[in-house]
Structure 1
Amino acid sequence: MARAAFFLVCFFFVFFGFFADAAVVEQTFEVGNLTVRRLCKSKIITAVNGEYPGPTINAREGDTVVIYVINHSPYNITIHWHGIFQRLTPWADGPNFITQCPIQPGHSYTYKFNIIGQEGTLWWHAHVSVLRTTVYGALIIQPRAGPLGYPFPIPYKEAVILLGEWWDADVVNLENLALASGGAFNNSDALTINGRPGDLYPCSKKHTYKLVVEQGKSYLLRIINAALNSQFFFKIAGHTLTVVAADASYTTPFPTDTIAIAPGQTIDALLHADSHPSNYYISALTYASSPAIPFDNTTTLAILSYTNSPTTTTPPLMPSLPSFNDTPTAHHFYSNLTALLLPQTQSLPLSISDRMFITFGLSLTPCSSDQPQCQGFALSANMNNVSFRFPTNISLLEAHFNGVEGVYTRDFPDRPPLVFDYTNPNVNAVGTSLQLSEKGTKVKRLRFNSTVEIVLQNTAVLASDSHPIHLHGFNFYVLAQGFGNYNHTEAVEKFNLWNPQVRNTIAVPVGGWAVIRFWADNPGIWFMHCHLDVHLPLGLGMAFEVENGPTPSSTLPPPPPDLPRC
């Protein structure tokens, strides 16, 4: 009953504007070509409103957001509002061929959604091909009362820190070549902070972001990993940070000098400008969890500069950086965050109606006719041995709403077809049987308001890696995470049932597992996938089909009239 009442309240907020002072935040996104210069070269990229990174959207909890997207680019485009629940507005979620057909060149689409029960740092990005390499920006949600509503000391100022990657080559061409050959995607040529590589790269001293602070003041850093394929370690020389939120959910304050952040994740951290007035480097370097997978081993730098620091030619102080493969440091950070319990916080489901055990990782599939340069087998990825195949003529959500048969099947397996030693690297010596996966467009059907527990199990097939798994349409609770093969008897003793961290994207430990739970209280089709974009077109994803509830407030509304057509 409590869950139904909560959803009914949300419905009234969405459709009748019960927040008297709620605003409508409107913005136009013109997607087109932009020439920028990085690493000594000029290059044409796809960007929004001539900005790289794109514009920041500022809203308050309870506001309605309306974004008019006009596609002047030569590519199909969609925009995903990463972490927004999209309650009763799944048509605005944005993943290509999941909730909509793409916006074709010369066309437009209006994304309209309400922000209900969410505060903190989220972001938006393209959800077609690899265009989010340059098509991304921050989405900041203030409490209804503004900074006075923060459950931590009000900072003097706030700053957005967008971590990204840069390629000298055209990324769309790189992806097309990789898919055509059945091979791997090239590594980036540089890492970036707010679109700028920083001092260590050629011709980049003027392309270095600077954050100016006053001694004795505190600053809220809104850190977003917008990178295509890189997890990061983030540090600031001479300073400790206090994490106060993750993925727009408040955390118990957590002091640390090193932040680990995977693609898709956000971290809000308080910076106390209490060091000696000087200049300090802000750094981000790749956390490369797998020694077998090539990675961008460079480091991007920005500068933290005190207003009263003396004029000097001495270089900024460099932080002591962890090793690229420092999994213990990454795991310590990821596993020690806990939720800040607040009166309005949604409760953890204790009774479970649907249990799933999902293995995931890399695999092989036979070369197809659209891979002319492929020989024998192509690199793929899978969940429970199903390599996700995207529809091409209609989105899953449209097929679901209109009852169109033959687009997808409702037989995504609750468990893998074969039990094996998932994280043992020697599984690759057995032969190709474990390495092969089947292509399919399969979803898992869920009753409205059901409670779901998923064990996410990494595998070592072909290569072991830490995969950031993102769930659209929901936040989830992280009960536990660890290494090796999941053992329920041992793991359940570690379950945090009191204040588990709340996420929309989790970096499942390399060679390990994680357990998550969520309420399926949002009707529609919701994608769950790896947020390493190199793995998404290979098939590392699946979708949930959440049925309508018993009331109009829990029933999926029809699509807007301007929904793009294929």
Structure 2
Amino acid sequence: MYLLKSFGAASLLAATVANAAQVVLNWDITYTNANPDGLQERRVIGVNGQWPPPPVEATINDTLVINVHNSLDVPTAVHSHGMFQNNTAYMDGPSMVTQCPIPPGHDFTYEFNITQHGTYWIHSHYMGQYMDGFRTPLILHNTVETYQYDYDRTVTLVDWYHAESTEGLATFLNEYNPTGAEPIPDSGLIMDNANASLTFTPGKTYRLRLINMSGFVTYHYSIDNHTLDVIEVDGVEVQRQPMDMVSLTAAQRVSVLVTAKNDTSMNYYMHADMDTEMLDSLPDTLQYNISIPIFYDQTHTNFGAIQNIAFNNTSFDDTILQPVEVLAAVEPDVSINLEINFDVTTDGINRGMFNDLPYLPPKVPTLNTLFSEGQYPLSSEVYGPQTGVHILKHLDMVQLVLNNKDGNDHPFHLHGHVFQVVGRGDGYYDNNSSITLNTTNPMRRDTIRVPGEGYTIIRFRADNPGVWFFHCHIEWHLESGLAVTLVEAPDVAQQRMTLPSSMSEMCTAGGIPATGNAAGKKGLDLSGAPSGVTLIYDGFTARGKGAMAGCIIAALLGIATIVWFAHADPQKEARAIVESKHMQ
């Protein structure tokens, strides 16, 4: 939320609205080939036959229109990451959450008002497609920027796989992968190219918009002999904070101001170093500390001393950042404890889960259920047994306590909101924990790192009726089930919004029910809804108890036989046999 705080703001707003534009993009989603790391050409997903897809830019109060045609041989869906989508929840994009995926050969138009400014990105929200290259920056400008700078540059960070995401998912979600080892990327890239570079003009100030568009890897970013002044995280402007390095988990964005030196005698390197803690193996072929040159003068090859501050340095603490727009945290109306864990489930696959239950997509998109089932959407039951639905009351202050029982860090993204980060630490947090929460002006963002075997506490106001996904943004983990669904003020959503007919038509085109509960039926008849993938029962079932009882009886009979035989007189038994034969 951006508040107008100065006298005369009404006239400024009127002028801004008058200058608002409609930004129209025509995207044909296609396959093409690319070799960004120079090691292997592969099929990728691009736009209009080109890869990488073109960056998207707009200004606050514009209307963004993306006309999508799906020329792939599989469905797709498009998510504008970080957009609030106030009153347009059906434009959010996650497949089977707010929409049916777009079938091959079909069209769909995403249209929504730009009410925010800052650094965002657009990516596929169907299976693991964005790891196949379907991702691009979304840069939203303010009419008057809070910070002044001379140049605006976007620096993307990605992990890169030579195998397509379908192959990676087949390997990861497999009973022969009981430890849940994630596929290791083959490369890391800055600005989608192993040969990328930047040029600095002496004395000028650059806004570098860092976007981690990876499916897995966290990056630590730095520039040799330059200070990074952080001014924005995930679209939220913060008080200028100098740093030597910044860390970005998958899906996080950070804007930094960098003032170029007045000396052209040296060029320098920027570094993006992979956090290797989550990698189950460290291949010799993988370069972990990636760097590209920043040229002050391309006529020479003199480079300043390589500091590589980021390498093996994870000291960046984003919780110290303070938003420019001061907003104190208030006591929550409701607190939801979400335990993060991984374990082998009844289908033999190691899955991610909240509160011991992995997410399974329903047969009808959750938002469609909200709009088609009358009063039933006020109850979580109608949305299915494994969508992890939590019903939120309108305007409640909601607290999510994220207790990570896994040993690794995880990035979690909340659709439709930014949240306040009021606490983070080691160990397990509960009501008996004696820690001091940050409630004065805590950092706000939409994607947060939860430390391994630690906790993070976030709060947000339930002021955006609709259906919002909350999930790990490591794509392997999302597809394994590490997600829940927040159904926010369903009664208010029904009053404020109407599901466009194009949403239902797209479902029908794809052979997916457009109405009904999670099973595609009416009311609370949920027979056939996706379910049954749960933790393996830690105990004995009725059949198991019967089998155990049989084993015990058989064992007792065996022991009794052995005891009887041990106490028998072999000679007496032999004489009895001989006498019996003589009598015959």
Tell me whether the two structures share a fold, i.e. TM-score over 0.5.
yes
Aligned residue for 1:350, secondary structure, equals coil
- Measure the CA separation in 1 of the matches of 2:121 and 2:216: 16
- In the TM superposition, residue 260 of structure 1 has moved relative to its aligned partner by 0.4
Larger Rg: 2
- In the TM superposition, residue 390 of structure 1 has moved relative to its aligned partner by 1.1
1:261 alignment counterpart: 248
Structure 2 counterpart of 1:64, one-letter code? T
- Measure the CA separation in 2 of the matches of 1:20 and 1:453: 39
Q: In structure 1, which of residues 348, 352, 364 is the aligned counterpart of residue 332 of structure 2?
A: 352
1:158 alignment counterpart: 152
**Is residue 2:270 matched to residue 1:282?**
yes
Distance 1:261 1:408, change over 3 A: farther
- In the TM superposition, residue 252 of structure 1 has moved relative to its aligned partner by 1.2
Distance 1:452 1:189, change over 3 A: same
**Is residue 2:457 matched to residue 1:467?**
no
- In the TM superposition, residue 550 of structure 1 has moved relative to its aligned partner by 5.7
1:531 alignment counterpart: 473
- In the TM superposition, residue 409 of structure 1 has moved relative to its aligned partner by 7.1
**Is residue 2:461 matched to residue 1:502?**
no
**Is residue 2:394 matched to residue 1:448?**
yes
- Measure the CA separation in 1 of the matches of 2:238 and 2:206: 17
- Measure the CA separation in 1 of the matches of 2:305 and 2:501: 53
Tell me the number of residue pairs that the alignment of Structure 1 and Structure 2 aligns.
487
- Measure the CA separation in 2 of the matches of 1:254 and 1:558: 43
Distance 1:439 1:260, change over 3 A: farther
**Is residue 2:125 matched to residue 1:127?**
yes
- Measure the CA separation in 2 of the matches of 1:77 and 1:298: 31
Contact 1:279/1:317, CA 8 A, preserved across alignment: no
- Measure the CA separation in 1 of the matches of 2:135 and 2:501: 24
2:319 alignment counterpart: 335
Q: In structure 1, which of residues 371, 385, 390 is the aligned counterpart of residue 361 of structure 2?
A: 390
2:215 alignment counterpart: 228
Query: Per-residue CA shift, 1:335-361, capped at 9, x if unaligned?
Result: 32221136xxxx445142111111113
Query: Per-residue CA shift, 1:281-301, capped at 9, x if unaligned?
Result: 111111234476768662322
Taking the TM superposition and a 5 Å limit, the aligned residue runs for 1:190-209 are 190-196=187-193, 198=194, 208-209=195-196
Structure 1 counterpart of 2:270, one-letter code? I
**Is residue 2:239 matched to residue 1:298?**
no
**Is residue 2:306 matched to residue 1:318?**
yes
Query: Per-residue CA shift, 1:166-201, capped at 9, x if unaligned?
Result: 1122222221233244634421100011111x3xxx
1:363 alignment counterpart: 343
- Measure the CA separation in 2 of the matches of 1:525 and 1:89: 11
1:545 alignment counterpart: 487
Distance 1:310 1:210, change over 3 A: closer
- Measure the CA separation in 1 of the matches of 2:192 and 2:377: 39
Contact 1:281/1:319, CA 8 A, preserved across alignment: no
Question: Which structure's residues are more often strand, by fraction?
Answer: 1
Aligned residue for 1:398, secondary structure, equals helix
Contact 1:79/1:124, CA 8 A, preserved across alignment: yes
Structure 1 counterpart of 2:469, one-letter code? F
- In the TM superposition, residue 65 of structure 1 has moved relative to its aligned partner by 0.8
1:177 alignment counterpart: 171
Distance 1:558 1:52, change over 3 A: same
Distance 1:112 1:162, change over 3 A: same
- Aligned alpha-carbon RMSD (Å): 2.8
Distance 1:19 1:291, change over 3 A: closer
- Measure the CA separation in 2 of the matches of 1:179 and 1:404: 37
Percent same amino acid among aligned pairs? 27
- In the TM superposition, residue 510 of structure 1 has moved relative to its aligned partner by 2.1
Aligned residue for 1:535, secondary structure, equals helix
Question: Which structure's residues are more often helix, by fraction?
Answer: 2
- Measure the CA separation in 2 of the matches of 1:410 and 1:526: 14
Contact 2:64/2:114, CA 8 A, preserved across alignment: yes
1:403 alignment counterpart: 373
Contact 1:449/1:519, CA 8 A, preserved across alignment: yes
Query: Per-residue CA shift, 1:460-482, capped at 9, x if unaligned?
Result: 3xxx1111010001110111211
- In the TM superposition, residue 59 of structure 1 has moved relative to its aligned partner by 1.1
Aligned residue for 2:41, secondary structure, equals strand
- In the TM superposition, residue 400 of structure 1 has moved relative to its aligned partner by 1.4
Distance 1:383 1:513, change over 3 A: same
Aligned residue for 2:317, secondary structure, equals helix
Q: Where does the alignment leave 5 or more consecutive residues of structure 1 unmatched?
A: 4-15, 199-207, 368-376, 413-437
- Measure the CA separation in 2 of the matches of 1:249 and 1:18: 20
Contact 1:458/1:512, CA 8 A, preserved across alignment: yes
**Is residue 2:420 matched to residue 1:477?**
yes
Contact 2:96/2:364, CA 8 A, preserved across alignment: yes
- Measure the CA separation in 1 of the matches of 2:448 and 2:243: 19
Q: Where does the alignment leave 5 or more consecutive residues of structure 2 unmatched?
A: 3-13, 513-584
Contact 2:379/2:391, CA 8 A, preserved across alignment: no
Contact 1:396/1:407, CA 8 A, preserved across alignment: no
Structure 1 counterpart of 2:291, one-letter code? L
Relative to structure 2, which stretch is displaced further, 556-565 or 222-231?
556-565
Distance 1:293 1:352, change over 3 A: farther
- Measure the CA separation in 2 of the matches of 1:293 and 1:468: 20
1:248 alignment counterpart: 235
Query: Per-residue CA shift, 1:126-159, capped at 9, x if unaligned?
Result: 111111110111111111x2xxx2222x211110
Structure 1 counterpart of 2:228, one-letter code? L
Taking the TM superposition and a 5 Å limit, the aligned residue runs for 1:48-87 are 48-87=47-86
1:7 alignment counterpart: none
Contact 2:289/2:311, CA 8 A, preserved across alignment: no
Contact 1:74/1:105, CA 8 A, preserved across alignment: yes
- Measure the CA separation in 1 of the matches of 2:26 and 2:15: 23
Aligned residue for 2:170, secondary structure, equals helix
Question: What TM-score comes out, normalization by structure 2 length?
Answer: 0.78
1:187 alignment counterpart: 184
Contact 1:68/1:110, CA 8 A, preserved across alignment: yes
- In the TM superposition, residue 112 of structure 1 has moved relative to its aligned partner by 0.8
- Measure the CA separation in 1 of the matches of 2:370 and 2:359: 17
- Measure the CA separation in 1 of the matches of 2:173 and 2:216: 16
Structure 2 counterpart of 1:518, one-letter code? F
- Measure the CA separation in 1 of the matches of 2:262 and 2:434: 41
Structure 2 counterpart of 1:260, one-letter code? S
Contact 2:221/2:310, CA 8 A, preserved across alignment: no
Structure 1 counterpart of 2:161, one-letter code? W
1:513 alignment counterpart: 455
2:523 alignment counterpart: none
Query: Per-residue CA shift, 1:526-550, capped at 9, x if unaligned?
Result: 1000000010111100001112466
Contact 1:110/1:562, CA 8 A, preserved across alignment: no
- In the TM superposition, residue 515 of structure 1 has moved relative to its aligned partner by 1.0
- Measure the CA separation in 2 of the matches of 1:49 and 1:321: 39
Taking the TM superposition and a 5 Å limit, the aligned residue runs for 1:22-61 are 22-37=20-35, 38-61=37-60
Query: Per-residue CA shift, 1:44-103, capped at 9, x if unaligned?
Result: 111123343321111111111111111111221101000000011011100011001111
- Measure the CA separation in 2 of the matches of 1:548 and 1:445: 8
Contact 1:125/1:135, CA 8 A, preserved across alignment: yes
